[in-house]
Amino acid sequence: MEDIFRKLVAIPSVCGNLPAAYEIMDLAANYLEPTGIHIQRFEENGYPSLVATTRPTKTPRLMLAAHLDVVPAPSALFKLRKSKGKYIGRGVFDMKFAAASYLTLIQELQPKLSDYDIGIMLTTDEENHGQYGTGMLVGRGYVPKVCVLPDGSENWHIETFAKGRWFAQITVKGKAAHGSRPWEGDSASVKLIRLLSDLSMAFEFAQMPDTETLNIGMMNSGQSVNQIPDSATASIDIRYMEIKTLLRIQEKLAELCKKYGASLVALNDEGHPIINKLDNPHIAAFASCVEKIVGVTPAATTSFGTSDGRFFTPLNVPCIITRPAGGGQHSNKEWLDIDGFYQFHAVLKDYVQEISRLSNRAVA
């Protein structure tokens, strides 16, 4: 399993690097094909993805999902290292460890693979919103009874809520003029600042984990310090608790765009909030496996980010979102606990025996 992990980490599959995306997808397929599992490969907007199932179905009882794309990193991080009980490298925690476990598991089950109802879903665009990977596949009917998606939480606790997200770009037009003669122009940047100030009033002054949040991630305007800009743009990141709240914010934003003569373009789909419950039988069964093998009783956690789980939530598919100890994702200090890596595989294998063996109807 470590050898597979090392090879996955070595491929610089930075989101948007399509040659590397195909290279890492080919690597995964090469491990899966000899097992006789049913493999379907896809491409959407250039991004490759793969679904492998033990039976010819789009609706396996259990789907093991992972994204193979990562964020940029220095070249040295694309080499798996060990230090003081930790794996270090880009993607070790987010989230190539899971893919290494999945590929190993299918090889281990290969002699009796037909006894199980499992699928593996691998994608390469999660860091770019996920609509060309998981979003596309779910839209084509790949909908399991339960999904394991180790892309959130940590230390074996299970994520039960993550805010929804919506990204958009606002563009305001004006009229250029010399910076000393603003009365002869119409400053797009001033109008944009006023629009954003008005928009911020729709949010709590103290934005907290349990409130909607607004981040103005990028702003751009003007070409010279002494020129009135004729165009200004801002990209906004809104995180919300409920769909109805997002709709109210979008309505307010539409009013402001009309007031200031701005245009608005959504940059992603409406990423629904992720909602799971610890007492769901599928999730409770996984928690029991963690408690038995690791000795930890998983607690409910919330996330300030989001994951591809948002594509499953609207279809009432429970997602098991948990990971062993690790951290530093998207940084140069990304790490994963070595013991946790092997414990995760043991938990997953135990869970698969319980949940997806065709002869076992304990959790329907």
Q: What is the identity of the amino acid at 92?
A: V
Among 211-215, 299-303, 356-360, which stretch is predicted with the lowest mean pLDDT? 356-360
- Dist. CA 63–CA 54, nearest whole Å: 11
How confident is the model over 56-92, as pLDDT tens digits?
999 999 999 999 999 999 999 999 999 999 999 999 9
Nearest to 171 by CA among 137, 147, 196: 196
User: What pLDDT, on the 0 to 100 scale, is given for residue 189?
Assistant: 97
Report the pLDDT averaged over residues 6-13: 98
Q: At 262, is the pLDDT very low, low, confident or very high (cuts 50, 70, 90)?
A: very high
What is the pLDDT at residue 303?
85
Percent of the chain with pLDDT over 90: 90
If you write DSSP's letter for every residue of 270-325 in order, what string do you get?
Answer: -BPPEE--TTSHHHHHHHHHHHHHH-----EEEESS--GGGGTGGGT--EE----S
Question: Tens digit of pLDDT for each residue in 198-210?
Answer: 999 999 988 998 8
Average pLDDT over residues 259-285: 91
The DSSP string of 130-146 is: STTTHHHHHHTT---SE
Give the C-alpha distances (Å, rounded to integers) separating 279 from 276, 349, 362. 9, 21, 15
Q: How confident is the model at residue 322 (pLDDT cuts 50, 70, 90)?
A: very high
Sheet with 326-327: list strands edge to edge.
81-83, 86-88, 335-337, 326-327
Residue 227, C-beta contacts closer than 8 angstroms, at least 6 positions apart: 176, 177, 178, 179
pLDDT at 129: 85
Confidence of residue 272 (pLDDT cuts 50, 70, 90): confident
Asked if pLDDT for residue 339 goes beyond 90, the answer is yes
Mean pLDDT, rounded, for 201-228? 94
Query: Do the Cβ atoms of 87 and 338 come closer than 8 Å?
Result: yes
264 close to 254: Cβ distance less than 8 angstroms = yes
According to the model, what pLDDT value does residue 356 have? 81
Question: Is the predicted pLDDT of residue 196 greater than 90, yes or no?
Answer: yes
**Domains of the chain with bracketed CATH:** 2-162+273-355 (3.40.630.10), 168-266 (3.30.70.360)
If DSSP codes are grouped into helix, strand and coil, which group holds residue 189? Answer: helix
Q: Where are the alpha helices (DSSP H) in the chain?
A: 2-10, 18-32, 97-109, 134-139, 188-200, 243-260, 281-294, 338-355
Output the pLDDT for position 363.
52
CB 228 within 8 Å of CB 177: yes
Q: Which of 65, 132, 102, 129 is nearest to 318 (CA)?
A: 65
Measured distance CA(91)–CA(139) in Å, rounded = 27
